[in-house]
Amino acid sequence: MAKGASISGFPEWLPSERVVEQRVIDTLRKVFELNGFIGIETRAVETGASLLKKGETSKEIYLLSRLQEVGHESDTPIEERLGLHFDLTVPLSRYVVEHSGALAFPFKRWQIQKVWRGERPQEGRFREFVQADIDVIGAGDLPDHYEVELPLVMVSALEELRAYGLPKATVHANNRKLSEGFYRGLGLTDVEGVLREIDKLDKIGADEVARLLTETCGATEAQARACLELAELTASDGAELAAKFDALCEAHGIVKDSEAYTLARQGLDTLAMIVDEAAAIRPGSVIADLKIARGLDYYTGSVYETFLDGAASLGSICSGGRYDNLASQGNRKYPGVGLSIGLSRLVSYMLHTAGAHANRVSPAAVLVAVWNEEDRPAANRIANQLRARGIATDVAPTAAKLGKQIKYADKLGIPYVWFPATAAEGAEGAEPAGDEVKNIVTGEQVAADCTSWEPDTVVAQQTVEI
């Protein structure tokens, strides 16, 4: 990130870093579209009423006021004020309801946009960042198979980013129904409370979670221990998952013909389908991990978090799940399933830990030298010829000494310098009879015609290296 960015929490990339972010965005978009997702962009603002619906993050909203309203902000109730969106899920829900008549369902959409969190500034927390989301929204109902397919789309997107230094990603999946069925089978009723405490497991440890479960969720020591046992369960195929889960149920007296077990089994079957399908396509890409709870209480089925090999401290870089009740219009519900990548944090990791970097700052492959300011129109004509043929080209800013022009190209990483034929007598350096072009990395210089010359395709490309 650009050093000394003057407002804490609002990261800003230097041009060479932006090349990496742009490459990540382009790559995700390509994968999303290959999978048939439709791109949308929603406005940056929602009403306070819409933003405050969702519990957890309601404290982290930026509200807007027009300059003229300063001092009178409180005349308008918060619900009617405008605020910046803090994620892309709330706006999607609103968009789908608002434009339902114009959409084909199930509506598969991708969206890559900035979001804002009005947090107290603190080390390492972004208050402005980019999210990259995919969701599928059904009208009335939504088949479960999307709970299998969406994490796999994210897996293949993250797989593409490994070329730019991203470590292997593993999706950890769970299912709310499975957890709820198990907790109810144990006799616990505050399901959301239990999920909320379990979600803290990685942060505060098992002992502390056990204490909280007994203190705030009415669990006995034994119930708390059982919840923790469930949270420890992981499996990489459906059969293993079912066997381990059934053993746990038996150990804690949850019988198979109970309502609770039936509910849990429903979740388990979806989860088993996810890991088995994932294993068939990309072994090791998705595992069942029953401690995944996700704090947000709007999830109703599958939940996902994604971790990078060797980067546990980064936390989940791609999270989401199934939500059945986020959007509705009259009696009609719009259930959905989606995942969201915290893109800015990911790019930050790629840049600063994985060592991803642009091979050059400028998109230009060629810098046309200028011998004298009077020759500039000729240099521009050469540049336009190259551009018309798809070769990104810059022209030297001044008719400085040739060494200075080459230094300018070098600073921007432009690999080729073009020497127009119209070398004036007094010019330093080579005075070619016709145009020549020099690869300033290898030093190779050849005669060239701007209507036909082709750069080396590898050298010409602006790309991201590790």
CA-nearest of 317, 324, 28 to 147 is 324
The reply on whether position 160 binds a second copy by CB under 8 A is no
* Binding footprint of a second copy, residue count (CB under 8 A): 94
Binding mask 170-209 for a second copy (x = CB under 8 A): ----------------------------------------
The reply on whether position 281 binds a second copy by CB under 8 A is yes
Under a CB-based contact definition with an 8 Å cutoff, are residues 362 and 408 in contact?
A: no
Scanning residues 382 to 421, which ones bind a second copy (CB under 8 A)?
Answer: 384, 387, 390-395, 397-398, 408, 411-412, 414
- The full length of the chain comes to 466
Binding mask 230-269 for a second copy (x = CB under 8 A): ----------------------------------------
Scanning residues 84 to 143, which ones bind a second copy (CB under 8 A)?
Answer: 84, 94-95, 98-99, 102-104, 106, 108-109, 114, 116, 118-120, 128, 143
The reply on whether position 34 binds a second copy by CB under 8 A is yes
Cβ nearer to a second copy, comparing 155 with 303: 155
Cβ nearer to a second copy, comparing 211 with 381: 381
Q: How far apart are CA 321 and CA 338, in angstroms?
A: 6
Scanning residues 316 to 375, which ones bind a second copy (CB under 8 A)?
Answer: 361-364, 367, 373
The reply on whether position 45 binds a second copy by CB under 8 A is yes
The reply on whether position 463 binds a second copy by CB under 8 A is no
Write the CA distances from 229 to 7, 215, 223, 252, 316, integer angstroms. Answer: 44, 18, 10, 10, 22
The reply on whether position 426 binds a second copy by CB under 8 A is no
The reply on whether position 37 binds a second copy by CB under 8 A is yes
Write the CA distances from 1 to 316, 374, 464, integer angstroms. Answer: 21, 41, 16
The reply on whether position 35 binds a second copy by CB under 8 A is yes
The reply on whether position 49 binds a second copy by CB under 8 A is no
Q: How far is the CB of 456 from a second copy (least distance, A)?
A: 18
- 75 by DSSP, 3-state: which? helix
How many Cβ atoms from other residues are within 10 Å of residue 167's Cβ? 18
User: Among 100, 258, 353, 380, which residue interacts with a second copy (rule: CB under 8 A)?
Assistant: 380
DSSP 333-393: E--EEEEEEEHHHHHHHHHHTS--EES-S-S-SEEE--SSGGGHHHHHHHHHHHHHTT--E
Cβ nearer to a second copy, comparing 36 with 426: 36
Q: How far apart are CA 8 and CA 1, in angstroms?
A: 12
- 17 by DSSP, 3-state: which? helix
Position of tokens 């599928």? 136
